[in-house]
Structure 1
């Protein structure tokens, strides 16, 4: 499929089957079909083939390899480069009479011939295929315009007197009345493929990134797993794993599928699945999620869900279904395209018949007909959206904002509710030591922290790493004490000897000095993780570990509120830390312990209440909510899946760029509307002029080229949009490259 007319034809053909309704997405090349049980997949595929297109059931996405000759973007780019090298000299010589030298027309003919045949071959082949099925698309107009222009030019050169060495061709406002040699219209034969291929290349680049969200989810899946049966262990493919089987998860490995722990205890890192930085201690009987990383000891897990029944698979389905949606401006283009192409062909045929019947010579009749076909070529219509998006993306990149498509531009201006993730979005997403409270009569906060940091050097637990890192910072680079007889007890803590003293960093006990007990109560109220530091058996300090707000989070939420947008906090974390963050940011509505499905359900409920909802997140757990929201906004510092499922990606380290994204999206949306208005208005004016004989094909080609240049120029104005926020210079370029590098 290459245009909105193709989409309309496929949807109509599928809709002819009893009980079938279909939505076809041109950008993804996918159709979402609702059908009764009696309609088989083969029947649906046959219906698409009857419309003149190939079809197949969806297959798992695989990233395109660099240099792959089958890469559609590479093919479009190579064809465009060769076409530009051949067509630009033809356009310059044909449209600037002062540059026309002796036999210039023959050089143009030699350059235009491969453009009209090889460069335009995709249009010719698709037009012929559509003709076999009684269909007409934008490719039909392009093919006929190129073929007619080149054929008439060949006739003029060989038989019409235009091949004389000293022939010159100047602009004429009206078609030649038949006096003198016939004109050549090679600039139309070369320019039309050049401009249309440029638009197709931009479209191909956008399509290649469409499946990246699903590929990101696929990368979280495990390929093989070690199962334990009858006391023996063997490695099998994960597809062979069945519900009820026991499988092993060694330290550092990813959990293969959803299950329940039957042996062992460990800290499980759920950050890639739930987005939460705080590890979860699991013991026998605890549920674990496929895709999570085992950060501690050996686990034996009983599988409770496999394949399509896992949480990861459900999230993938949500993303895939949401990507099959269609923007309103695209639906309008689909409707218009259904009648535009046949109408232009009918007008061209009527013009040819009218001028022939009115007694005009064949050159005048053919000239008017070709002018109609050329002037109606959809270059401006095809360039209206992608050029504006490219200009906006380039401007936004300088401010740390990536805008993905027209859907964001259509919906962002009307958003009244923003659902914000907590961990990694409003907070840093990493464990930090928030406060250290030492016993007044003890050795002091600095000394206790130094000893605790020394013992935690040997720990791989995220809390232990946070304590050790904080101790090094406090020590100003000085080495922490060496530890002897280090021991880690799962679910309890670590211990060892440092500077000859026995140091334990453990779960707080029930009996603590008053100062430490008071600090422990405050930490629990704030939802922070706490550890007790005991030296030689005496509780000396309580260390509070937790996530902290990102710099600028308060300003970002306040700017959203002043824009008239209501903030809602939804997180997979516990109630206490969620409420603590909401209180700091003055967010009234909060939702804690949200699973990915809960977040998606919250978005659906808000939309059902009439709100226009945007979601800001950074983790895999946010991907489903980002996809079902009217607008998804992801932090580029988050996971690949969140960034690829979102409509807007913020490559800065904070969400303060959301307000800049709103301003940029509003300006870009207005630019696209102006481009489309010009594209349709241009055809409404120029097609009648060509039909009544007031445009030559050369002037029609010039008008078509000018319309494309005006659209591009209007889009480039977006590069000068002033945004209130400033991109962080340190790291923005690197973040930009990292986010861009995700796309295959």
Structure 2
């Protein structure tokens, strides 16, 4: 209930955040932190003032059997209560006005009504315009508990997303611009279309462009999801944000600033984040009904008591009692307490919840879309098959390849080395090591000229290999490298992005729960289907362009399915934002993590199951708590109105307060039970 109000605020913060972001600011995030600080400050000031208000209150004095009587006692009480009402109650009074403007009463108007009625009635009593007790202590305790509820909840709902800041950080801020025969470093913002830029090995590409000189392999996995670094030659396109791995190259700028691919991704994330539905928790609906019930019951109570011949003072006191009692403290804490416990629990289980509303939606999921690279697979290449030629053994082929690969940083090389380590092979020294640009590596091992090369080199030089086996491995989408010794083929090694064992178990467990698993990847059809077969996934979308991933999510959502997206790359960010629940693998890029609703800190896809369970249990506890909180009202309002007055039973504000405290305690205990 407060949640819903808070989420609206949260969404507004996000929207303003995106706008600020485009203007180069980070206001959104700071606004959110500033709001949390503001509630904390108001809470502590109000607690400090509540203590003297309680001591000075007639009703509390009656209960505890002591009496304070000194000059200006009531004036001091009035001043303290006024400060609490104005300073502590300000967020609720302001919220009431907003809800009134929207003609949509909710928790804010309910709290605003209770504290305003209590305050103005008490002022009248203190200054002798009314009979009975003042409600200043009720006012103070209500404001303190509601501020606490808001503060707990806002701390649980992590601040507005930094996704866009993270994306912008990915772009280098400077570029080496070639001007005639000299090179100068200039800010990327100064580059224009047609500028020539030098990109050195290991650097990020600063702008979208076309290679006009040089060739290299480029790691685009963060941007496109393609697991293997891509070879690029003159005339081919490169994307801003990708990493140049080997050679130097000169590129001609084709897109700068807003027109780059990365900026388009930024735009997509921003749009998807803003278009998220504003989930209205049903605590908010409860507050809406309670508001109407409180006003209705208050008015009816006044009319009936007045018609029965009681004085206006008595009728007003009954009416005020009903209105004050009808704002349940417990309702304000029902959701935030469960939220706080479930946030702590989820953190223990390695789940970082960034968006509460979406986390609560996870209980309704029908489909989970997994990105392949780095989520279902390890994102690291491993050797799946070694095929030696007739006169060599697997170990010999691996030994030659791994000896050469020790000098390389390429992902495929690391895969071959890991396999050699696993088989405990002793590697040889390499002399005259060199890179054959675009086709492989070479060097001298034990006096022989050894090359580890791509299929292209084999084709270009017409070398004889086992074509049938090569065709079979290619069919499975594996990457194959060939080992040559003195120009003669000695064997081939097939590598693939290795499937995670836990991914297999996750898919199986989801199927048992009636949730379907779908794979989405930028990788080619063959690779995707090979991985899907290993995991038992039936639905596969392969060769999906990054900016199309969000559309694929929309397609799955089209039949009303609730969809979660699990991913780890920049290319997944728009899809994570589009899904009903975006889940990022913690080891992924900062951008994916910042766009997601939930982050799996341990990067284990199995944690998706924990999310489903925790979401169901959290929701169940919230429903129970709301019933406890509302149940108090169902009993207290008629009693406060005087339904049992003919039998001499009238609920005094004091007993109302005891009942209210009791329901608050029950709600708090029930929230803790979530741990069990």
- TM-score using structure 1 length: 0.75
Higher alpha-carbon deviation: 79-88 or 392-401: 79-88
**Quick one: distance in 2 between partners of 1:128 and 1:113?**
19
The aligned counterpart of 1:711 is 667
Which of these residues, 209, 227, 232, is aligned with residue 259 of structure 1?
A: 209
Residues 550-584 of structure 1: per-residue CA shift (max 9 Å, x gap): 01222221222222223222211111111111222
Q: CA deviation at 1:298?
A: 2.0
The alignment status of 1:663 with 2:613, answered yes or no, reads yes
| Equivalent residues, number | 658
The aligned counterpart of 1:724 is none
Which of these residues, 477, 484, 489, is aligned with residue 431 of structure 2?
A: 484
Question: What does residue range 190-589 of structure 1 map to in structure 2 within 5 Å?
Answer: 190-206=140-156, 208-325=158-275, 330=280, 341=291, 344=294, 348=298, 360=310, 364-365=314-315, 367-377=317-327, 379-405=329-355, 407-408=357-358, 411-442=361-392, 444-475=393-424, 480-508=427-455, 509-510=458-459, 517-589=467-539
Residues 612-633 of structure 1: per-residue CA shift (max 9 Å, x gap): 4332222222222222223333
Instruction: Give the secondary structure class of the aligned counterpart of 2:492.
Output: strand
Q: Is the 2:164–2:270 contact (alpha carbons within 8 Å) kept by the matching residues of 1?
A: yes
**Quick one: distance in 2 between partners of 1:473 and 1:634?**
31
Q: Is the 1:296–1:461 contact (alpha carbons within 8 Å) kept by the matching residues of 2?
A: no
Cα distance change of structure 1 residues 326 and 277 upon mapping to structure 2, 3 Å threshold: closer
Cα distance change of structure 1 residues 369 and 591 upon mapping to structure 2, 3 Å threshold: same
Residues 110-129 of structure 1: per-residue CA shift (max 9 Å, x gap): 98776455433444566689
Higher alpha-carbon deviation: 145-154 or 210-219: 145-154
The alignment status of 1:58 with 2:19, answered yes or no, reads yes
Q: CA deviation at 1:311?
A: 3.0
The aligned counterpart of 1:28 is 11
**Quick one: distance in 2 between partners of 1:438 and 1:64?**
61
Q: CA deviation at 1:59?
A: 1.0
**Quick one: distance in 2 between partners of 1:332 and 1:259?**
51
Q: Is the 1:388–1:715 contact (alpha carbons within 8 Å) kept by the matching residues of 2?
A: yes
Q: Is the 2:269–2:573 contact (alpha carbons within 8 Å) kept by the matching residues of 1?
A: yes
Q: CA deviation at 1:547?
A: 0.8
Q: Is the 2:577–2:595 contact (alpha carbons within 8 Å) kept by the matching residues of 1?
A: yes
Q: CA deviation at 1:303?
A: 3.1
Q: Is the 2:570–2:591 contact (alpha carbons within 8 Å) kept by the matching residues of 1?
A: yes
Q: Is the 1:187–1:701 contact (alpha carbons within 8 Å) kept by the matching residues of 2?
A: no
Cα distance change of structure 1 residues 416 and 143 upon mapping to structure 2, 3 Å threshold: closer
Cα RMSD (Å):
4.3
Q: CA deviation at 1:423?
A: 1.1
Cα distance change of structure 1 residues 65 and 661 upon mapping to structure 2, 3 Å threshold: closer
Instruction: Give the secondary structure class of the aligned counterpart of 1:252.
Output: coil
**Quick one: distance in 1 between partners of 2:164 and 2:154?**
18
**Quick one: distance in 2 between partners of 1:353 and 1:680?**
25
Q: Is the 1:385–1:406 contact (alpha carbons within 8 Å) kept by the matching residues of 2?
A: no
Question: What does residue range 76-225 of structure 1 map to in structure 2 within 5 Å?
Answer: 76-84=39-47, 87=50, 103=68, 115-116=84-85, 118-123=87-92, 138-139=107-108, 142=111, 145-146=114-115, 149=118, 183=133, 185-206=135-156, 208-225=158-175
Q: CA deviation at 1:58?
A: 2.0
**Quick one: distance in 2 between partners of 1:207 and 1:396?**
13
Cα distance change of structure 1 residues 91 and 274 upon mapping to structure 2, 3 Å threshold: farther
Q: Is the 2:432–2:444 contact (alpha carbons within 8 Å) kept by the matching residues of 1?
A: yes
Show structure 2 runs of 5+ residues with no match.
644-649
The aligned counterpart of 1:10 is none
Q: Is the 1:25–1:326 contact (alpha carbons within 8 Å) kept by the matching residues of 2?
A: no
Cα distance change of structure 1 residues 608 and 70 upon mapping to structure 2, 3 Å threshold: closer
Q: CA deviation at 1:491?
A: 0.5
**Quick one: distance in 1 between partners of 2:162 and 2:30?**
18
Q: Is the 2:330–2:660 contact (alpha carbons within 8 Å) kept by the matching residues of 1?
A: yes
Cα distance change of structure 1 residues 404 and 673 upon mapping to structure 2, 3 Å threshold: farther
**Quick one: distance in 2 between partners of 1:88 and 1:269?**
63
Q: Is the 1:267–1:461 contact (alpha carbons within 8 Å) kept by the matching residues of 2?
A: no
**Quick one: distance in 2 between partners of 1:569 and 1:354?**
66
Which of these residues, 4, 13, 35, is aligned with residue 72 of structure 1?
A: 35
Question: What does residue range 687-698 of structure 1 map to in structure 2 within 5 Å?
Answer: 687-692=637-642, 694-698=650-654
- TM-score using structure 2 length: 0.82
Q: CA deviation at 1:291?
A: 2.0
The aligned counterpart of 1:649 is 599
Instruction: Give the secondary structure class of the aligned counterpart of 2:378.
Output: coil
Q: Is the 1:276–1:429 contact (alpha carbons within 8 Å) kept by the matching residues of 2?
A: no
**Quick one: distance in 2 between partners of 1:656 and 1:70?**
32
Residues 570-623 of structure 1: per-residue CA shift (max 9 Å, x gap): 211111111111222232232211112322222222222444433222222222
Instruction: Give the secondary structure class of the aligned counterpart of 1:290.
Output: coil
Q: Is the 1:466–1:545 contact (alpha carbons within 8 Å) kept by the matching residues of 2?
A: yes
Instruction: Give the secondary structure class of the aligned counterpart of 1:303.
Output: strand
Q: CA deviation at 1:338?
A: 6.6
Residues 90-115 of structure 1: per-residue CA shift (max 9 Å, x gap): 77997798866664998996987764
Higher alpha-carbon deviation: 345-354 or 104-113: 104-113
Instruction: Give the secondary structure class of the aligned counterpart of 2:147.
Output: helix
**Quick one: distance in 1 between partners of 2:286 and 2:31?**
36
Residues 270-321 of structure 1: per-residue CA shift (max 9 Å, x gap): 2322234321121222222222222222232333333333333333333333
Cα distance change of structure 1 residues 97 and 621 upon mapping to structure 2, 3 Å threshold: farther
